[in-house]
Structure 1
């Protein structure tokens, strides 16, 4: 009776070793990057998810939603703003969703962010619903903390981040908007305080900081109009306090807000309609600000909440 048991034990160990060797040859390195397609409102919507190096050793990790500008894409957003490298260093997951492509010659991607922009607005694409479904999909399949989901974006993507905070505040912890103000058709009716970080250049002519006509003939509200709205929604007791104002930038904060949902606003004196601290990637693009680094400010801000 002992020999069959001994033989079975040796056989089991051998098979286990063989399977491990075979698995290694096939390649079972952990996967940190996923390209996904989901169906939302009858449309195939796409996004790319990047997981940080410590993902498989941890749980309840934070997630950043990075929203490209009008005419951009998730791939462009990742490449131009170097966000994945920063997210990996900070142990954040980061996702790059794509706006819908227009049916025009250039097939440009935009977001319906309220009163902007172009094809997505004209076709009344429900991008808030798309992002909401995407969040649910990621929370269901990956080890993400639902209380640490943040949104950031450039221009049209920044405007959408404000709309997300207004319409699905239960799924968004904080937002960081770059070169795009809140621009809604209707009143913002957020049901909870949301911390806001806004970065803009006084030299931005594509989306003027004080409002008015900008890129593609679109009309934008002033940045401070949206921030003042949020100061009321966040029940801030200290309104528009200038912390610093020098030759580099003006820093304004709304403090003593409910649930510590502070509002921080950097207005740079250099740069333009661009991502601060990034490199100029196209000849026709505005020069990025060099006095602040968006990635550092954004992730430091998110880590507070």
Structure 2
């Protein structure tokens, strides 16, 4: 089992390294947006986080979006991929992009590593709320690939810390499902996955270490007390040349008042929708939706 997980992580590193995201990433200057790095010592390790914030001061506390990068990446690379600075510019939010301690997020609860990423992310959130003008009730988390898997784990382990979560190219590990039956708080969940993703399989075999993507969404629908069947719609094909269509399965009318949404990118690969920087490196990138703004439009609806 450990060998399979390590092989999967190696494939993700090789795939994303081929796109040279981390090596070529840089911070794109954005009008009205400032950035800085901050270091937190956790478990004796100095952990660094890249922050984006509005340049202009505000009299009110802002929402905070914690964005987790893919395996082999870093905060700069995640910002480069997602263009998340535009959310700061357009909505006045803060964005935190933490770096991993040792190459990957420890998203598997059966992982024997001594690195406590769940504890670190909680410390990061607490520190941000204490030191910066961000609203503790409007903290959300999102991630891509390995960062998506870590987001799913965090939503299971510390749901009281975040108002909502979003996982792009992520899926529920079976070891996580076993400890995530009924978290203390139900977290609204957004998932975006390509059904032609060769890294995080949309429909893995029954012997795989993860659920299928639809079953992962159903798991969160059960946690949130949603109806068994989602409302399904096919979104407009805004860019026919990208070779994709996007289907939305929305679980509405949930007992918790939350919602769960699954965007399936038909023919889509292991990519961030709407990004101009990963076109066809790991399959097709849909331009029919903007992944970054889709994440924000979902998480902004919720408070803790």
TM (normalized to structure 1)? 0.78
Q: Is the 8 A contact 2:64 2:138 kept in 1?
A: yes
Of 202, 205, 217 in structure 2, the residue corresponding to residue 227 of structure 1 is: 217
- Higher RCO structure (Cα 8 Å, ≥6 apart): 2
User: 1:114 and 1:204 mapped to 2: Cα distance?
Assistant: 20
Q: Secondary structure at the residue paired with 2:73?
A: coil
Q: Which of 120, 125, 133 matches 1:130?
A: 120
The 1-side partners of 2:59 and 2:299 are apart by 19
After TM superposition, the score normalised by the length of structure 2 is 0.79
SS of 1:203's equivalent in the other structure is coil
Structure 2 Cα separation of the partners of residues 44 and 127 of structure 1: 13
For 2:59 and 2:204, the matched residues in 1 are separated by 44
Deviation of the 1:37 alpha carbon? 1.2
Instruction: List aligned pairs for 1:193-204, cutoff 5 A.
Output: 193-204=186-197
Match of 1:83 in 2: 84
The answer to whether the 8 Å contact 1:271/1:290 transfers is no
Which of 258, 261, 265 aligns to 1:264? It is 261
Give the gaps of 5 or more residues in structure 2. 1-31, 237-243
Report the structure number with the largest CA radius of gyration: 1
1:64-103 map, 5 Å: 64-101=65-102
Aligned to 2:155: 165
3-state DSSP of counterpart to 1:229:
helix
Given that 2:33 and 2:85 are in contact with CA atoms closer than 8 Å, whether structure 1 keeps it comes out as no
Aligned alpha-carbon RMSD (Å): 2.4
Q: CA deviation at 1:228?
A: 1.6
Call closer, same or farther: CA 1:258–1:53 in 2, change over 3 Å: farther
| 8 Å contact kept, 2:49–2:75 | yes
Q: Is the 8 A contact 2:36 2:50 kept in 1?
A: yes
In the alignment of these two chains, the number of paired residues is 260
8 Å CA contact retained: 1:67, 1:97: yes
Matches of 2:194 and 2:279 in 1, distance apart?
Answer: 18
Secondary structure, in 3 states, of the residue corresponding to 2:230?
strand
SS of the residue aligned with 1:51? strand
Partner of residue 114, structure 1: 108
Matches within 5 A, 1:15-34: 32-34=34-36
Deviation of residue 292 (structure 1)? 1.5
Deviation at 1:212, TM superposition (A): 4.5
Task: Give me the whole-angstrom Cα distance separating, in 2, the residues matched to 1:254 and 1:282.
Answer: 30
List runs of 5+ in structure 1 lacking aligned partners: 1-29, 102-108
Tell me the distance in 2 between the aligned counterparts of 1:233 and 1:113. 19
- Cα deviation for residue 57 of structure 1 reads 2.0
Q: What is the distance in 2 between the residues matched to 1:209 and 1:39?
A: 37
Partner of 1:176: 166
